[in-house]
Chain A
Amino acid sequence: MRRSVMFLALLATLIAPLAAASSGSGLQSFGHSVTIDQPVKGDVQVYGGAATVRDIIDGDLFVFGDGVTFEGNGRVTGNVIYFGGQVTNREGRIGGRLYSPTSFESAAAAMTRSAVILSLLVVWLIAAVILALMSGRELRLSSVELRASALHCFALGLVALTSFVLSAIVFSYLIPYLIGIPLLAALGVFAMLTKVYGTIAVFHAVGTLVAGSKTRDQLARRKWLRGDLAMVVVGLLILGAIRMLPVIGPLVWGGASVFGVGVALATKFGRREPWFLVWRPADA
């Protein structure tokens, strides 16, 4: 495994300059704003600035910074993807779709924020119930690990999330060589599974901390608040209620995701097996 990772890293480092040389069309800008005064064939990317479009862009427009302004004959034949700022004067000027990763939040801001969050919590609840029924023991072991080694799980989660992002960037170098797409897809699926499993393990841990039985008598007296399923539901309802709070909610939910990714990896999805086997010579 270690050799594979090292080989992949070396491969990406060696191929990167070739990949860079192969892409020439369009326009990229880093750290400053761009004004399109003449037709551009290919994608235009602006990172850390605003885009003013006064002529035709025959491709997609990406703006990660201060938004997009259309003026004069400005038009984009493809998709407009932006993060931060606003798109002004866009009517009839975008051939593809207008998309922003933050549009969930902006849509939610108009009185539907709470409804959107609650709808997502319903999806989380269904996923949590399915996972608790399928892998209750694994969830329980991850929950125990989280409560016993919270700091380690948090550190591992932070490092793992950073690793996902950096690995995705490095895999992006390989997109022109076909292998990049399956690598990115595999990384995305793995990251998603890790986040979902880990977050549900955090639900279990929170539920157990708050509503778990402390004694055998207490356990015997309870009808509802016992078992993995109940702990997961209680934890989800508590974290979900906190998620509804305006500023603290997203922070707490984000923190839970970090803990979750950490505990999922620390316990290998609750299986408590080592990720790496140590090679030893066979005894005679």
Chain B
Amino acid sequence: MNEGCQRYIEDPEANASHLETCDACRALFGELGAPPPAPRPISVDELPLAGWEGASHRAWPLVVAGLVLLAGIAGVLFAIAGISPRVLFAQLPSLDVMASLIRGGGAFVQNAPMGWQVGIGIGFLVINTILYVLLRRAPRGVDAA
């Protein structure tokens, strides 16, 4: 007897659908001559709100309002500070700086003290093993919600 069977015995009407899936209960209550209780109609309004309900609605006014709000305040602040928004692009690394960074990164690990290199190697194996173990866990969000 499992948990579902227990719940059916305690409240047969509320758990009427259990009989359809449990051979043992069906046989037992059939022998007793008890007629299977009629399932209660489901009221959709009583069910909890599902995540997908209303999810496809597109609130464009909210998007536009958010965009105007953020861009507007940023523009005003740039104007007050007297700085062009192009400063954002000027701070991005150029291709030759990127190449230098990659080359420098390679030289760093190759010339690091042996202790660092051993530590990096061990850390790489340990961290990726932990990552592998954590990634094996199945997501449970929908079932838990």
B partners with A: yes
Contact status B55-A5, CB under 8 Å: no
Question: Is B40 located at the chain interface by the 8 A CB criterion?
Answer: no
List the A side residues contacting B125 at CB < 8 Å. Answer: 9
Annotate A51-72 by CB proximity to B: 1 below 8 A, 0 otherwise. 0000000001010000000000
Complexed CA–CA distance, A149 and B138 (Å): 11
Which of B3-11, B17-25, B126-134 is found at the contact surface with chain A? B126-134
B34 to chain A, nearest CB (A): 36
**Which secondary structure dominates where chain A touches chain B?**
helix
A176 to B106, CA, bound (A): 8
Known: A62-B100, A219-B49, A267-B139. 4 other contacts (CB 8 A): A16-B110, A97-B96, A115-B81, A140-B52
Contact-residue bracket for chain B: 35 or more
Residues of A within 8 A of B58 (CB): 133, 227, 229
Contact between chains at B94 and A229 (CB < 8 Å): no
Give the top 4 A-B pairs by smallest Cβ distance, nearest first: A145-B141, A227-B57, A118-B74, A175-B106
- A112's partner among B83, B103, B111 (CB-CB below 8 A) is B83
Cβ-defined contact, A110 with B139, below 8 A: no
The segment from A32-40, A84-92, A161-169, A246-254 found at the interface with B is: A161-169
14 example contacts (A-B, Cβ-Cβ < 8 A) are as follows A2-B132, A30-B113, A104-B91, A110-B81, A112-B81, A144-B51, A155-B134, A169-B105, A169-B109, A170-B121, A226-B54, A226-B59, A229-B57, A234-B62
Which residues of chain B from 19 to 47 have a CB within 8 Å of any chain A CB?
A: 45
CA distance A78 to B141 in the complex (A): 52
Q: How far is the CA of A19 from the CA of B128 in the complex (A)?
A: 23
**Do A16 and B117 touch (CB < 8 A)?**
yes
A45 touches B111 (CB 8 A): yes
Binding site for B on A (CB under 8 A): 2, 5, 9, 12-13, 16, 19-20, 22-23, 26, 28, 30, 43, 45, 47, 60, 62, 78-79, 81, 96-97, 99, 103-104, 107, 110-112, 114-116, 118-122, 125-126, 129, 133, 136-137, 140-142, 144-149, 152, 155-156, 159-160, 162-163, 166-170, 172-173, 175-176, 180-181, 184, 213-216, 219, 223-230, 233-234, 236-237, 240, 265-267, 272, 274-276
